Structure 1
Amino acid sequence: MFTHKLVPLLISVTAALSLAACAGVQPVAYTAISSSSQLKQNRDGDSGKVPYKYAAPVNWSRYIQVMLEPVAVYQGTDNQFGDVKNEDRTELANYMAETFAKKLAKRFDTAKQAGPNALRIKLTLTGAEKTTPIVGQVMHFDIAGNLYNGVQAVRGGQGAFGGSVSYAVEIYDGSSGKLLKAYVSKQYPNAMNLPAAFGSLSAARTGLDKGADALVDQLH
């Protein structure tokens, strides 16, 4: 009897894995951002969330101020917004600006203009995936879905039919304008984060929260 129950479960898990794997998008080295030609494929352990990056040798401790440029919504043909409407893109860009500014303020003073000992940071929202209505929530209550999401949570992977956000970060020296660091990132909630599964853009917002924390951590 146990075997008869287990077989359908394994089939369901396999189907969920296949569908979820096909659903996600992978960020690219977006051709219309300034640092595109300098971005290289990331070979480190965080490549799942930061597939492309560039970094110059930098002593971050010398920088005490930051000037955050207005968040740009990427218009290149290789954008990854899919069916996300323009008003939703604008909403996410506004949320990104607010969230990153708040988190950066914990590490830096705010500069109104670029200058010595200041960083100029350019953020570009390049894509977003909405949580698939109903299915994205059901996967948290379905046995097979919970198994899949549990594995993804351990791996740091994206939840089944969950949303995400993709963006580019470019960091410049405020005096010279030299590019110090740039990367493309895809962020999403922990696969077992149930609240983030409700609301089509909730996962993307949670991804931006995580992305802002990740940026600040890199600048210490």
Structure 2
Amino acid sequence: MRLLFLAQGLLLGSVSLLAGCSSPAPIRYQGIASAVYLQPNLHMHHGHLPFTYRPDVDWSHYHHFIMEPVRVYQGSDAQFGKNISAKDKASLADALQEQFVLQLAQRFAQTLMSSDDALRVQITLTGARRTTPFIGTFTKFDVGGTPINLLQSIRGREGLFNGSVSYAVEIYAADSHQLLLSYVDKQYPNAMNIKASLGPLTAARAGARKAAAGLMDDLQ
């Protein structure tokens, strides 16, 4: 019962501080290779893709992809929560690797060889937040948290006390090394997704799935 009252108190204190319950927006990470090309995205939707580089590319020319190992960003401007361990970072990097390969393989053939119709894909894990145990789930049911999470769900924003994953995407022509696409983003599950709030990294892993699906939308 005492824990319940504590959760309610924390929730009430957060009603006017929604921004404080969300992880920071991605920045132009200075340690990624394409940082110099990234520009503010004047057409960003629901806070996504704040910085991007998008030249005109005929994606139909490409039929293969080379998936580089996902990097864990080491720069001082990384956005990892204080409770994200090295083990957590490795786990989320593996999740990103798996999800991007699964999505890309639906359209392109994976290869290890450079060619003029191959893309080289580099994903960098730049930040992550854990879901707050118990409270992240509790706020989807109680009278104070449910309306806030419903509003966040409609707005496409993060749920209260839920986790997220931040990352950078860099796509190059495999043969010429020309940069074809670059952006930074943050993903998280729907604010009312109860299942994704049940583990400390479940929301971040759900974000990895959305991140990979989002790239495929860009490559149409």
Three-state SS of the structure 1 residue aligned to 2:169 is strand
Shift, 1:170, TM fit: 0.3
Contact 2:14 2:21 in 1 (8 A): no
CA distance in 2, matches of 1:19, 1:135: 16
Q: Paired residue for 1:4?
A: none
CA distance in 2, matches of 1:108, 1:118: 9
Three-state SS of the structure 1 residue aligned to 2:28 is coil
Matched, 1:73 2:72: yes
RMSD: 1.6
User: Residue type of the partner of 2:213?
Assistant: D
Contact 2:71 2:125 in 1 (8 A): yes
Three-state SS of the structure 2 residue aligned to 1:160 is coil
Matched, 1:201 2:201: yes
Q: Paired residue for 1:180?
A: 180
Shift, 1:19, TM fit: 3.8
Q: Paired residue for 1:167?
A: 167
| Matches for 1:50-129 after TM superposition, within 5 Å | 50-83=49-82, 84-129=84-129
Deviates more, 1:15-24 or 1:148-157: 15-24
CA distance in 1, matches of 2:15, 2:112: 48
User: Residue type of the partner of 2:151?
Assistant: V
Q: Paired residue for 1:144?
A: 144
Q: TM-score, normalised by structure 2?
A: 0.91
CA distance in 1, matches of 2:91, 2:100: 14
Name structure 1 gaps, 5 residues minimum: 1-10
Provide Cα deviations, 1:74-93, integer angstroms capped at 9, x if missing partner: 00011111220000100110
Q: Paired residue for 2:192?
A: 192
Q: TM-score, normalised by structure 1?
A: 0.91
User: Residue type of the partner of 2:138?
Assistant: V
Identity of aligned residues (%): 44
Q: Paired residue for 1:219?
A: 219
Provide Cα deviations, 1:121-145, integer angstroms capped at 9, x if missing partner: 1000000000111211110111111
CA distance in 2, matches of 1:121, 1:18: 40
Deviates more, 1:43-52 or 1:60-69: 43-52
Contact 2:188 2:207 in 1 (8 A): yes
Name structure 2 gaps, 5 residues minimum: 1-8
Moved over 6 A (4+): 11-14
Contact 1:20 1:161 in 2 (8 A): no
User: Residue type of the partner of 2:34?
Assistant: S
Q: Paired residue for 2:3?
A: none
1:73–1:150 CA distance, 2 compared to 1 (3 A): same
Q: What is the total number of aligned residue pairs between the two structures?
A: 210
Shift, 1:161, TM fit: 0.8
Contact 2:46 2:156 in 1 (8 A): no
Matched, 1:20 2:18: yes
CA distance in 1, matches of 2:65, 2:16: 43
User: Residue type of the partner of 2:49?
Assistant: V
Contact 1:71 1:122 in 2 (8 A): yes
User: Residue type of the partner of 2:36?
Assistant: S
Contact 1:116 1:175 in 2 (8 A): yes
Shift, 1:47, TM fit: 5.8
